[in-house]
Structure 1
């Protein structure tokens, strides 16, 4: 479904991604793990067109999307829930979700998708008229994921979905991610909580200073001694 081929991404003169190649197959959950500054968020920004690569190719369903404006990439079927949630604090829950459907004009289908979001996140339905900025951190994370789903993506990019959440909410968010995937959405998740991410993913890539240093089956990487020491807090 998605391929990155020898992708190099820069911020000014800073070489953030140094020739990374990865692929995601339809129906998978794939995770990117690595320490802060490894290039995980940059990889998502590169895919979604926010920080286009200077070299290499990004292919979605076989078609190159390098240089395609970010809003058109959303229309093609890729949506992102960004790090730090970035919801619209002054808009209500409903208005935030409507913003997620800004590329669409099929009103009946939009209403149906909003109902689906409320099924996944009943708490959002209870707070539908509440302003986003007054929600708890966990509710804001639910809203950010719900907003991303409103564009009806075939590939959902999740950037640090568990950041700053209480452990009980982390478990809930990861359950919901699996639920979204079981309904047919392919997912690429960037996550500091490597143990949780490897627990739900089919495959994983380990990023280190802008390069992929390990890749493979998530369960296998979870047992890898280097991964355990570096990312899972095991000695």
Structure 2
């Protein structure tokens, strides 16, 4: 579904990504793990067209999307749930969901999908007329995922979905991610909580200072001594 080859991204003189290559197959949950500054968010932003690639290729369903505009990439079926939620704080919950459908013209389909988001997240229905900025952290994360679902994604990029959430909410968010995957959405997950990420992923890649240094099945990485020492507190 997604094939990234020899991808380089620079911020001025700083090389954020140094020739990374990885694949995400249809129906998988693939996770990128690594410390702060490893290049995880930059990778997602490059896939979305938010930051330009210096070189390399990004192929999504046989189409090279490396030089496409972000809104065109969304239309192809890739959507990102950004780090820190980034909900529109002054807009209502429902307006946020409508913003997620900004590339769509099918009014009845949009209404159906909003109803579907409310069925998945009953708390959002209860708060649909509230400004999104008044929601708790967990509710904002649900809204950010709901907003992403409004694009009808085939590939969802999740950036640190557990950040700042209480342990019980983290469990709930990860259950939601698994449910979305079972329903047919392919997931690329960036997450500092390596233990939780590896628990639900099929495969994983480890990023260090812009390079992929390790890859394998989630089970293999979970059992790796190096990974246990560096990321799992082993």
- The corresponding residue for 1:203 is 203
Match of 1:52?
52
Deviant stretches of 4+, over 3 Å: none
Cα distance in 2 for residues equivalent to 1:194 and 1:212: 15
Q: How does 1:152-163 map to 2 (within 5 A)?
A: 152-163=152-163
> Counterparts of 1:90 and 1:142 in 2: how far apart (Å)?
17
Say if 2:53 is the partner of 1:77. no
Aligned twin of 2:32 = 32
Q: Distance in 2 between matches of 1:110 and 1:176?
A: 21
Aligned to 2:194: 194
Q: Distance in 1 between matches of 2:119 and 2:25?
A: 27
Q: CA deviation at 1:19?
A: 0.1
Measured in 2, the distance between the counterparts of 1:117 and 1:204 equals 29
Per the alignment, residue 13 of structure 2 pairs with: 13
Residue number in structure 2 paired with 1:110: 110
- If the length of structure 1 is used for normalisation, what is the TM-score? 0.98
- Aligned counterparts of 1:230 and 1:139: Cα–Cα separation in 2: 31
Show the 5 A alignment for 1:127-142: 127-142=127-142
Aligned to 2:149: 149
**Secondary structure of the residue that 1:196 maps to in structure 2?**
helix
Deviation at 1:114, TM superposition (A): 1.2
How many aligned residue pairs are there?
234
Q: Please give the alpha-carbon distance, in whole angstroms, between the structure 2 residues aligned to 1:27 and 1:125.
A: 29
Using the TM superposition, name which of 118-127 and 71-80 deviates more. Answer: 118-127
The residue aligned with 2:42 is 42
> CA offset at residue 80 of structure 1?
0.3
Task: Calculate the TM-score normalised by the size of structure 2.
Answer: 0.99
> Which deviates more, 151-160 or 106-115?
106-115
User: Structure 1 regions of 5+ residues with no counterpart?
Assistant: none
Give, in angstroms, the shift of residue 121 of structure 1.
1.2
Q: CA RMSD in A?
A: 0.6
CA distance in 2, matches of 1:180, 1:115: 16
Q: Per-residue CA shift, 1:184-213, capped at 9, x if unaligned? A: 000001001000000000000000000000
TM-fit CA distance, 1:153: 0.6
- 1:86-122 alpha-carbon deviations (Å, 9 max, x no partner): 1000000000000000000111111111122112211
Question: Is 2:98 the partner of 1:98?
Answer: yes
- What is the DSSP-based 3-state SS (H/G/I as helix, E as strand, rest coil) of the residue aligned with 2:216? strand
Separation of aligned partners in 2, 1:223 and 1:88: 40
Post-superposition offset of 1:220: 1.1
